[in-house]
């Protein structure tokens, strides 16, 4: 298991943040973001950064499925495998209901496709896109979408399409747009912090 994820446990963790990196990156890519978010909220967080299963063919990074060219036929199996991996993270101490999924770019697309079908506290997708022929289920966790208006890799219109798809569901979906490109700027991190506080920061239960 050590090879396909990075885990940062926290004493008395009551919630979990699962990080899904983008195409060409690896499990370590979003860990600094996860650490910054964990320090910013009151709820003790366990951090888990999952490694995409495939080596990408154009460098040393990883991919959830082939993207250049796009291997859309591989997406359903990739999503099912990811859902199984996330399900296996659930425990009595930190159930899936106390887990938030956060993905960037290709990892964001995977976070949406997998997260919609799991009983999560919520999911966050930055610079993401919908997979072809994907439809949001009526019942899903709350969602936060973040996207740069000047994104030259995944156009901002992808976020608008996702927002429209997710709006058909019985849960909130917020879209935060920012004046940047294919990145996660400071103002996007601030919105992520607010979402985590909203979804995870619950009053301590009295004994």
Q: What is the pLDDT of residues 87-134, one digit of tens each?
A: 999 999 999 999 999 999 999 999 999 999 999 999 999 999 999 999
pLDDT above 70 covers a percentage of the chain that reads: 96
Residue 3 is predicted with a pLDDT of: 66
Q: What is the pLDDT of residues 152-202, one digit of tens each?
A: 999 999 999 999 999 988 789 999 999 999 999 999 999 999 999 999 975
Q: What is the pTM of this model?
A: 0.94
**Cβ neighbour number for residue 142 with a 10 Å cutoff:** 19
DSSP 121-171: SEEEEES--PPTT----SS---EEEEEETT-SSS-HHHHHHHHHHHTTSSS
Residue 170 is predicted with a pLDDT of: 79
Return the CATH number at 59.
3.40.50.1820
Query: Is residue 186 in some structural domain?
Result: yes
The residue range of the domain holding 87 is 2-200
Question: How far apart are alpha carbons 203 and 6 in whole angstroms?
Answer: 29
Residue 59 is predicted with a pLDDT of: 76
Query: Is residue 207 in some structural domain?
Result: no
Query: Is residue 205 in some structural domain?
Result: no
Query: Is residue 153 in some structural domain?
Result: yes
Query: Is residue 121 in some structural domain?
Result: yes
Residue 10 is predicted with a pLDDT of: 86
Cα angle at 19 between 198 and 10, to 5 degrees? Answer: 70
Query: Is residue 206 in some structural domain?
Result: no
**Cβ neighbour number for residue 91 with a 10 Å cutoff:** 12
Write down the mean pLDDT value for the chain: 92
| Structural domain count, the chain | 1
Helix (H) or strand (E) holding 104, with range, is: strand 99-104
Residue 202 is predicted with a pLDDT of: 56
Residue 205 is predicted with a pLDDT of: 39
Query: Is residue 54 in some structural domain?
Result: yes
């Amino acid at each position: 298991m050590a090879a396909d994820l990075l885990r940062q446990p926290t004493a008395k963790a009551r919630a979990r943040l699962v990080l899904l990196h983008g195409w060409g990156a690896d499990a370590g890519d979003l860990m600094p973001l996860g650490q910054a978010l964990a320090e910013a909220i009151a709820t003790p967080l366990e951090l888990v950064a999952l490694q995409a299963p495939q080596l990408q063919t154009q460098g040393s990074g990883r991919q959830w499925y082939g993207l250049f060219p796009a291997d859309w036929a591989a997406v359903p199996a990739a999503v099912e495998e990811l859902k199984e991996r996330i399900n296996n993270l659930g425990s009595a101490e930190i159930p899936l209901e106390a887990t938030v999924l956060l993905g960037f770019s290709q990892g964001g697309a995977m976070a949406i496709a997998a997260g919609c079908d799991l009983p999560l506290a919520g999911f966050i997708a930055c610079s993401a896109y919908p997979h072809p022929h994907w439809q949001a289920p009526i019942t899903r966790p709350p969602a936060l979408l973040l996207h740069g208006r000047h994104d030259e890799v995944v156009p901002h219109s992808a976020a608008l399409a996702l927002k429209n798809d997710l709006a058909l569901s019985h849960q909130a979906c917020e879209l935060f747009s920012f004046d940047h490109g294919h990145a996660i700027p400071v103002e996007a991190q601030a919105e992520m912090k607010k979402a985590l506080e909203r979804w995870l920061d619950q009053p301590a239960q009295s004994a």
